[in-house]
Amino acid sequence: MAGQAVILKGTNGAGKTTLLKTLAGLHPLAAGKITSAGRSIFIGHENGLNPIFTVEECLQFYARLWGARYCPEVLSVFGLAAYRYWPVVKLSQGFQRKVALSRLSLGAEKLWLLDEPTAHLDTVGESVFMKLLQSHLKDGGGAVISAHKNLFDQLKNSQTVQVAA
């Protein structure tokens, strides 16, 4: 899957989130086994952020959890430097999503499992995410992404498979 993205498209209730959670090991398999060459990062509908942590504390927490090195430059990826000391609870849904997606910049995992990653993002945030994703794929990473929007057209230069659920 190195350098590839699989885009899962489908209506609500089609099973996209269940598939992503199953791949992440968060949902049990009815039968069989999933094997992976390494660990993955899962970002679901819930951003997985502690609301009383500051933006920087959230990113530091995940860096420590994944054994990655925290660099304050991660804050600049989605323009969060001015918000570094803000508690997550004070941020809009769009900014909370940017904090969650900033974890991808920590570079800890090769496989990204992303459930509607562009939800709540403005057009600038979507553009930043797409550049981050394209860079990840170019560097040999992989991604499985559920999306209502057509991300397929934006990933023309990468090896992408679109699956309709």
pLDDT in tens, 45-89: 899 999 999 999 999 999 999 888 899 999 999 999 999 999 999
Read off the pLDDT of each residue in 100-104 and give the average, rounded to a whole number: 96
Burial class (CB in 10 A: 0-12, 13-18, 19+), 14: middle
Judge whether residue 132 has pLDDT over 70.
yes
Evaluate whether 56 touches 84 at the Cβ level (below 8 Å). Answer: yes
CATH topology of domain 4-164: Rossmann fold (3.40.50)
The rounded radius of gyration (Å) of the Cα atoms in the chain is 15
- Is the whole-model pTM more than 0.85? yes
Q: How far apart are CA 41 and CA 103, in angstroms?
A: 9
